[in-house]
Structure 1
Amino acid sequence: MNRSRTRHPSALRRPTLMRAGVAVLATGALTSLAACGGGGEGGGGTSSQSPSDTLTFAYDADAAPTGYDPLEYSQGQFTFFSALYDSLFVTQPDGTVAPSLVTEFSNNEDDTQTTLTLRDGVTFADGSELTAEVVKANLDRRNDADLEAYGALATGGASEIVDVAAPDPQTVVITWAQPQASPENNLTDTAGVVVGPDGLADPATLETTPDGSGAYTLNAGQTTRASTYALDKKDEAWNADEWAYDTVVFNVITDPQALANAVISGQADIATILKPTTIDMVEQRSSLAKVGGTIVGFPVIDKTGATNPAFADERVRQAISHAIDREAIVEQLHPG
């Protein structure tokens, strides 16, 4: 008999505005984005919303510099994209991984094949429904070098996928190049995001128009790229009740002093990554939450050596990792 593991989520996920590795500054009695969680990045607000219905998030970088294809970004951007898109699995506030678009999953005996059962009643911004074929079409983009989120799933990656099948509308079967005892970790947050059929058919449209199944949609009229991103909640979304705010606005404020001033003056409810020089000033009037830290990485996408043959040799990649002076990075880039 084949050994299998099947997990059933005990409850719907509680989406969070903040992810690990980001410092958050919140004012007074700020409530979280999710009904029972926290998380996200934004700022600004709309005149039609009352303060209790709008969360303003001051973000220290452009949330979507190349458009709204979440797979073009790394894990750090999931704070923003998690409101617009759903993922197969998501990271919980305590660091564990839970199913989201997946309701249950199991491995075969040798951990080389994972079977996913998808959630019913999930609809994308383009009006289409979540199916196994849509998930397969997403994962079949994994060797696109422009999709940073799929680095580990692509050929040569640490969690390489060799085949994705859709035997029925609600079932996805993933075959791995190597045994994966915890396959959910490979399909979490950004790596597990599912884009709608219209966005898949013409990815160029994602430069201006998101196509996700998330609890929020982009308010184009209130959005100015690289400055302000306004998101409105969809009451019909499958997990709408799990998100507390009708509107979330991400204001891009790259200057550390201006970012701190936005919190102190009440222009922002939450701000990210405050610099050491401004923390003391802001802490006198607001609550400071320290979450994780800053991660500096050197991901190698060219693991097949297509651009530089040397990178195809695992020993070369390991040598680069050993040669990096980690202490120097901390001292020079992140003192204190």
Structure 2
Amino acid sequence: MRMALAVAASLVVLSACGGTAVTGSGSGQPKPSGKVGEVLTLAQPAAPKTLDPTKETTSDRFYAALAYQPLIVQNSAGDLQPGLALSWHYVGTGNMTFVLALRPNVKFSDGSALSAQGVVDHFSYLVKAAGQQAPLFAGYEFAATGPLEVTVRSPKPDPDLGKHLSQNFVAGDIVSPTGLSDPAKLGGATFGAGPYQIDAAQTVAGSQYTYVPNPNYYDKAAVHWKKVVVKVMLDPQSTLAAMQTGQVNLSLGDQGTVPAAKRAGLTVTSAPQLVVAVTLADRGGTLVKPLADVRVRQALNYATDRASIAKALYADSGAPTMQLSVPGSAGYDAALEHTYPYDVTKAKALLSQAGYANGFTLDLFTTTGGGLNLVTQAVAQQWGKAGVTVKVNEISNASAYRTTVLGEAKAPAFTSNFSVPVAIEGSYLYLPNALYNPFRNADPVLQKLYNQSAVASPEAKAGVDKQIMAYLVQQAWFVPIVSQDLYYYASRNITGTTTTPTSYVSIYEVQPAT
């Protein structure tokens, strides 16, 4: 699972979940337990390349969220709650103008004050810094329309802007004016308005990051620990051992160590959040002509024995799936899970109807991260039974893998994608300018549905999102195989480690057990 996270973060995107306008005065956190713990120790599978939240990736969100309060807090249930913004709402129709009312009297850890102009300056810097989140805000206009009011105008409908401004996307973690005045310092120090601040004297970059309470934090009751330590631990077995001996209180889990974690008495929480799939990027048949025929793409889906793969390779951590959404997330429709039952005879018939009775040869790229290479080998054998000869190309390095499949190869490839809102999913997977649509294939039916979803009310949007998912399944642009659980391990002396299909464990909710 650790590797699956690394691959997914580098290949696609980390998800979030939405909500409507909210007004409140708290910190966006649950009611405090009334108990302040001495030290909370977290284990993370990778060190951040920088502490600059505008350049950090979403997989580094814990490092950023501790010190940088976001404009909007997304809780573990997926709801959006007040952060540095007390309220927010769209203006007019079309989801293109978004107004935030900022919390008054907020000071950053360095003593500078929160203001609307400071938020505008933060996003100007974020776009120039060209980090992972910068493309999300290309063409967006941020304006200070009052001392504590920020108006955002997007170039196209964006029903999920509130999610983008939460801690799960890092971009909404606001940097202070002092930090922006000397960006070189952002890499090793923190300039946020969050509950903690980095303690450089107790921090060893790449190994251990120590945070202490921010004396200027606006909600003292929400500071649950006297110290938070984040340890970088690359090996799942070492992480489990550290959890068992009490050296670590909270960590990401690994599907291989789940039984041992449960036997050790750890609190194990999980939710389906990842979808392992084959992306048939060349659906226009530019390099692989057969893929232009929907019958061929459907044949590949019929030729995939998802149940046997899930049982053999994922045990209790995965379930067979035929769609890009997981149960409980946007667009998911249980009825779609009956679309492509494993049927080699049906697959052969469709190939014959498309003019490929003798099959064809297909290059399929994969990587070792998350065990995707093992899934690839299983799929190659299954497709072979239908007459499709698969040449497996394995690339271990995740960055090189992405460069290859989106660059010179542009071939069908395995991905481990986080299930995300439809508006974000389209931008990364299937719209004309999507990252995983290197041939820029367009579909007027899909585009029309996507446009409807972008401007729909929350009530109507759910139905349109299901139509989008149904159309993707029918057109078979992907071969979804398994929806996979994301695991967390927690010691018995902490609470607040809930996770759902639409959100992650929120570091703001982790408290000492009463």
Same fold (TM over 0.5): yes
Q: CA deviation at 1:325?
A: 4.8
Q: In 2 relative to 1, CA 325–61 (structure 1 residues): closer, same or farther, beyond 3 Å?
A: farther
Give the structure 2 partner of residue 115 of structure 1.
99
2:112 to 117, 122, 128: 128
Q: In 2 relative to 1, CA 61–181 (structure 1 residues): closer, same or farther, beyond 3 Å?
A: closer
Distance 1:139 1:314 in 2: 31
1:82 to 37, 61, 65: 65
> Does the CA-based 8 Å contact 2:37-2:224 persist in structure 1?
no
Q: In 2 relative to 1, CA 276–183 (structure 1 residues): closer, same or farther, beyond 3 Å?
A: closer
Give the structure 2 partner of residue 230 of structure 1.
210
Give the structure 2 partner of residue 44 of structure 1.
none
Output one character per residue of 1:114-141: Cα deviation in whole Å (capped at 9) or x when no partner: 2211111221233211101110011223
Tell me which amino acid in the other structure corresponds to 1:278.
T
Task: Pick 1 or 2: higher relative contact order, CA cutoff 8 A, min separation 6.
Answer: 1
Distance 1:101 1:244 in 2: 19
> Does the CA-based 8 Å contact 2:56-2:132 persist in structure 1?
yes
2:121 to 137, 161, 165: 137
Output one character per residue of 1:139-179: Cα deviation in whole Å (capped at 9) or x when no partner: 22353363212332224xxxxx2x21113221111112123
Give the structure 2 partner of residue 168 of structure 1.
146
The TM-score normalised by the length of structure 2 is 0.49
Percentage of identical aligned residues: 23
Could you tell which deviates more after superposition, 131-140 or 106-115?
A: 106-115
Partner of 2:127, secondary structure, is coil
> Is the counterpart of residue 288 in structure 1 residue 247 in structure 2?
no
Partner of 1:206, secondary structure, is helix
Tell me which amino acid in the other structure corresponds to 1:260.
L
> Does the CA-based 8 Å contact 1:36-1:242 persist in structure 2?
no
Partner of 1:291, secondary structure, is strand
> Is the counterpart of residue 35 in structure 1 residue 35 in structure 2?
no
Give the structure 2 partner of residue 48 of structure 1.
none
2:171 to 191, 215, 237: 191
Distance 1:271 1:219 in 2: 21
Tell me which amino acid in the other structure corresponds to 2:481.
E
Distance 1:93 1:300 in 2: 24
How large is the Cα RMSD of the aligned pairs? 3.4
Distance 2:196 2:233 in 1: 22
Distance 1:132 1:325 in 2: 45
Q: In 2 relative to 1, CA 323–201 (structure 1 residues): closer, same or farther, beyond 3 Å?
A: farther
Tell me which amino acid in the other structure corresponds to 1:243.
V
1:269 to 241, 249, 260: 249
Partner of 1:192, secondary structure, is coil
Tell me which amino acid in the other structure corresponds to 2:44.
Y
> Does the CA-based 8 Å contact 1:142-1:154 persist in structure 2?
no
Tell me which amino acid in the other structure corresponds to 1:213.
A
> Is the counterpart of residue 59 in structure 1 residue 44 in structure 2?
yes
Q: In 2 relative to 1, CA 241–328 (structure 1 residues): closer, same or farther, beyond 3 Å?
A: closer
Output one character per residue of 1:186-223: Cα deviation in whole Å (capped at 9) or x when no partner: 32221311111122223221111111111101111111
Give the structure 2 partner of residue 47 of structure 1.
none
Distance 1:313 1:201 in 2: 40
> Does the CA-based 8 Å contact 1:219-1:230 persist in structure 2?
yes
Give the structure 1 partner of residue 89 of structure 2.
106
Aligned length: 281
Partner of 1:165, secondary structure, is strand
Output one character per residue of 1:37-81: Cα deviation in whole Å (capped at 9) or x when no partner: 9xxxxxxxxxxxxx941111122221x2x2111122333322221
1:203 to 177, 180, 183: 183
Distance 2:137 2:84 in 1: 19
> Is the counterpart of residue 7 in structure 1 residue 161 in structure 2?
no
Give the structure 2 partner of residue 244 of structure 1.
224
Partner of 1:194, secondary structure, is coil
Distance 2:62 2:56 in 1: 11
Q: Find the structure with the greater CA-based Rg.
A: 2
Q: CA deviation at 1:293?
A: 4.3
Partner of 1:143, secondary structure, is helix
Q: CA deviation at 1:92?
A: 1.0
Q: CA deviation at 1:106?
A: 2.9
Tell me which amino acid in the other structure corresponds to 2:46.
A
Q: In 2 relative to 1, CA 12–212 (structure 1 residues): closer, same or farther, beyond 3 Å?
A: closer
Output one character per residue of 1:66-107: Cα deviation in whole Å (capped at 9) or x when no partner: 211112233332222111001111111211111211112232
Distance 2:26 2:112 in 1: 25
Distance 2:164 2:155 in 1: 13
Could you tell which deviates more after superposition, 144-153 or 214-223?
A: 144-153
Q: In 2 relative to 1, CA 256–176 (structure 1 residues): closer, same or farther, beyond 3 Å?
A: same
Q: In 2 relative to 1, CA 60–35 (structure 1 residues): closer, same or farther, beyond 3 Å?
A: farther
> Is the counterpart of residue 327 in structure 1 residue 501 in structure 2?
no
Distance 2:152 2:270 in 1: 33
Partner of 2:211, secondary structure, is strand
The TM-score normalised by the length of structure 1 is 0.73
Distance 2:259 2:237 in 1: 12
Q: Which is helix-richer, 1 or 2?
A: 2
> Does the CA-based 8 Å contact 2:166-2:172 persist in structure 1?
yes
- Which consecutive residues of structure 1, in runs of 5 or more, have no partner in the other structure? 16-33, 38-50, 156-160, 331-336
